Amino acid sequence: MTDLSAPRGQHHDVIIVGGGQSGLSMAYCLKRRGISCLVLEQHRIAHAWREERWDTFCLVTPNWQCTLPGFPYAGGDPKGFMQKDAIIRYVEDYARFVDAEVLEGVAVTSLRRLGGHFEVVGTTGEFSAQQVVVATGAYHEGEIPPLSAGFPATMVQIHSSSYRNSGQLPEGAVLVVGSGQSGCQIAEDLHLAGRKVHLATGSAPRTPRRYRGRDVVEWLDQMGYYDMPIDEHPLRERVRAKANHYVTGRDGGRDIDLRRFALEGMELYGRLLGVNGSVLRFRDDLRQNLDQADAVAQSIKATIDRFIDSSGIEAPEEAPYLAPWQPSSVSGEVDMERAGITSVIWSMGFRTDFSWVDIPVFDGRGYPAHQRGVTPTPGLYFLGLPWLYTWGSGRFSGVAADAEYLAAQIDAARGAVAGAPAQSMNELALGS
């Protein structure tokens, strides 16, 4: 009789699903411990940076924060912001540096636990492993709301991940929905290209680029913000659902001030509520959205002020921000035909899709239960999720610490006896 619980296909000590910066970081940390692994990448190395970013995309964090394990930024502009092509080269160079066994073009369609091992089914065949690290991040499917179906059939609609430049859109004005990092930067890109932009805002906060003589990231780093674990953050796990602060590294880095865009001709609105024929309806909350974003920026400045004072640091004073524009009382409706709007860019974030993971480790929202990437299922780990443990967990700046932590857990779990009681395995995996 065939033993269905026996490993099938290629068997490996560790399989890493995802060959982005997180998966490659994991492979590097495992190799340093002498642990063999296989990396399965659905597309090709640096796919998301290459295929899901616009042409003028650049980092919003300075280059010195690019600290993949064993491979810190070594260029000549540590305080600059890498542009798209340089980011792709950085990741590709890292892949060559790590020199892990990577299979590109392999999409994992199923992951389940069978007996003392994991079965991994990919588009090119079956694999098995003693331990598995899911390093696919959290940004899997672009979020486009149901109300998009109400737009005229002639309207061109794309998700922000499909935007490349203004030339790909038909002539006419562009509606950008969402004022998070991507939405604001795309709105700016279109605005600078001379396109008429209509921006539907949300509750995303903003941050100043520089303050009192330094990039704000330098201040926050010195204050230890980026090392703060999630269980010490005032919002705890709720911070994972918060929108990123909008700012840009474009042209050497600057604030994104939507009020200044309005002075220059960009049309700003509150949250998009719906569409009826050619008429858009917006919530009357633009002033609130702008004021809240400014309040967050001011609170960051105030925190830096307190740190400067308490630390006795000499830093130049800076005049307080004065809003250069205020929204007037306008109608919450806009006729797209009269406004000349011919295209829509949806910038409302992404959904996670772990439907291929057939292991009960998810909460009601589809988010994996874990402690710093270690799940209740022995041998299953997650890496590269936003705020997995710190602010930098899903970024170039913080993935190294998380990968090294998981490598230690994987190394320790290798000594576990196959078939040990689940509780003892959990304790071992969690480092208890």
Q: Are 372 and 384 in contact (CB under 8 A)?
A: no
DSSP letter (8 states) at residue 70: T
What is the mean pLDDT of the segment spanning 139-151?
90
pTM listed for this prediction: 0.90
CATH of the domain at 116: 3.50.50.60
Same structural domain, 77 and 155: no
The residues near 134 (Cβ < 8 Å, ≥ 6 apart) are: 17, 18, 111, 354, 357, 368, 380, 381, 382, 383
- List, for residues 58-70, the tens digit of each pLDDT value: 999 999 999 999 9
What is the mean pLDDT of the segment spanning 317-335?
89
Torsion of CA 203, 143, 50, 63, to 10 degrees: 20
Same structural domain, 40 and 121: yes
> Which of 346, 362, 397 is at the close of a domain?
346
> Which of 325, 346, 367 is at the close of a domain?
346
Indicate the average pLDDT of the chain: 91
Flag whether 408 is in a domain.
yes
Residue 115, domain extent: 10-140+352-429
Cα separation of the two ends of the chain: 39
Q: Are 270 and 290 in contact (CB under 8 A)?
A: no
Same structural domain, 226 and 296: yes
Q: Are 342 and 170 in contact (CB under 8 A)?
A: yes
Closest to 163 in 3D by CA, of 432, 343, 384: 343
Give the residue with greater pLDDT, 251 vs 426. Answer: 251
Flag whether 218 is in a domain.
yes
Same structural domain, 266 and 181: yes
Same structural domain, 75 and 115: yes
> Which of 346, 370, 386 is at the close of a domain?
346
Flag whether 146 is in a domain.
no
Same structural domain, 303 and 218: yes
Share of the chain above pLDDT 90, in %: 79
pLDDT at 243 over 80: no
Q: Which residues pair with 125 in a beta bridge?
A: 122
The reported pLDDT for the residue numbered 260 is 97
Q: Which two tokens stand for residue 76?
A: 């000549």
The phi, psi pair for 102, rounded to 5°, reads -120, 130
Same structural domain, 224 and 315: yes
Same structural domain, 359 and 335: no
Closest to 27 in 3D by CA, of 39, 17, 18: 39
The reported pLDDT for the residue numbered 45 is 96
Q: Are 296 and 289 in contact (CB under 8 A)?
A: no
The reported pLDDT for the residue numbered 425 is 35
- List, for residues 8-65, the tens digit of each pLDDT value: 568 899 999 999 999 999 999 999 999 999 999 999 999 999 999 999 999 999 999 9
What is the mean pLDDT of the segment spanning 407-421?
72
Same structural domain, 322 and 411: no
- Domain count for the chain: 2
Flag whether 244 is in a domain.
yes
Flag whether 125 is in a domain.
yes
d(Cα 323, Cα 79) in Å, to the nearest integer?
Answer: 28
Give the residue with greater pLDDT, 199 vs 5. Answer: 199
